[in-house]
Structure 1
Amino acid sequence: MSRIDLMRAFVTLGEIGNYRAAAESLGVTQPTLTKQIVRLEDILGHQLFFRSRQGTELTEFGRAYLREVQPLIHEADRIWDLGLRMASGDAGKLAIGFTFSALEVMTHALLAFRHTYPEVELSFDDISSQTQLSMLREKRLDIAFARWSGAGDLASRLVARDHLALVYPAELAGVITSADSPALRKQPFIRLKQAIAPGFEGVVQRFLDWKGISPHSTHRVNESLVQLRMVEAGFGVALMHASSVTRIIDHSRIVVQDIASGPKGPALDWQTGLYWRRDDRNPVVRAFLKIVREAIPAPVEQ
């Protein structure tokens, strides 16, 4: 009989105050519970209960000892229940990385996951695709929403496709009507720093080279939301992820025009994948992957 079993028997009897009811609560016979209490009293060298026909009452020592033992048993029960929830994927932690291009699909997945698993602690960071995959391999991330590259050492699933969008202030709507408008060449461009999004910035540069655009000035920023704010304030134009900007802009102040890859032009679209470690047995990760399969239909790979 372990110490924790003896203390649990004592706490249960001390709280209920009746041998029969306490034994039923513990799932043991009344003689077994009696032996456990006697054993604990022998170890401690003190009587814990007064026994009479009227019932069971704690001794002064028993009351003092109960105050000390109760928190331990209740915490042990909490940890046991937590372990069961963690093993089933109902509790635990999940660290997720994403790019701005994956914002829409990741948000959809997180909302569905949080609805089913509200006790899982989520953390998520906007990180470049290359850095995400490195962090995933180093076990600093559990899940990555990154540019689709088919990394062979990681498990992956295609979750979204995206393309460029031209974003400019609404007051320029009369002079900029398409990506070929001459007025576009005269505008400052607001771009992400190369180190922040090297893959995406490569697509932006392909577009500029294709159109022969050499901006007379370029502002470099750290975040896509800063790009949007600067465009809205009239400081320039930007080339951004179409899927992510459409729902978060004020259409009365910003214009968004999709830019599709033409048959004779460079590739201006890309795909986003969900990545995880092949050998990851974390129940929370498995639960998240199940939710993603149910909530996000896989697009056809191009």
Structure 2
Amino acid sequence: MHTVWKGAISFGLVHVPVKMFTATEDKDVHFRSIHKACGTPISNVRTCIHCDKEVGLDEIAKGFEYEKGKFVLFNEEEIEALKPESARVIQILDFVDLTDIDPLYYQKAYYLSPDMSGAGAYSLLVEAIKQTGKIGIAKISIRSKSSLAAIRVIDNCLCMETMHYPDEIRSLTQVPNLPEQANINEKELQMAKMLIEQLSEKFDPEKYTDDYRIAMLDAIQHKIAGQSVDIVSTPDTARSNVIDLMAALQASLEAAQAPPPATTPRTKRKSTPKKTKEIS
């Protein structure tokens, strides 16, 4: 894995030298814009509409728009000088219970490994966090972005998850159409709780797959082989606003209690060969 940050975890007067690695990876299917006429990728060119010319990277500064059409400019040296001490230190401020943090605050996950001769201090912090059941709340700066972070343990590895600051979380008052007062039918509530219990099980991440990505990769292989891709019309899912909740809950409970259907071999879909156009 590629090291994305080097520094130290600091709690009290203890410093633990660490390296940081991204814990997740992007597996989305990414497309490029292609000119249909000749099959050439379209380039994104930086241009100045005032000078009507292409602009090189060495001619570009960072600017903040403080009024419409007015910018204050910063060069890289000025931005570097403003970086806080946490640019090289993950400073743990507090230790809290994991259940105290709403998942809404989490951003991106990283793995931390011991650096240089810090294996002893690293192992000490891992074991201390394990035995207390706490997680550390820290401050860190990565790529000019200051973030809160949660430091916890997965197996024998320290894991850090960057977090939003409270003022970055939008207020619930901005969410439209939230019911002010709940008017719940007691029978419907009991059935809903029964359905939740029926569908409850231990979390197993391996059972969940990205069906859209799998279908897209399959379609890409068909295209490469010069075959057509089946186009299925989307069913009309429009429904009446009036829903018989009791009937829906009852049907859901019956479906959840029914044994799973026997699996049948998946048939290959038929595809029509199609001539491919060579791109030089």
| Bin for the TM-score computed over the shorter chain | under 0.3
Instruction: Name whichever structure is richer in helix by fraction.
Output: 1
Q: Looking at CA atoms only, which structure, 1 or 2, has the larger radius of gyration?
A: 1
Normalised TM-score (structure 1): 0.16
Instruction: Name whichever structure is richer in strand by fraction.
Output: 2
Normalised TM-score (structure 2): 0.17
Q: Which has the higher contact order (CA 8 A, sep 6+)?
A: 1
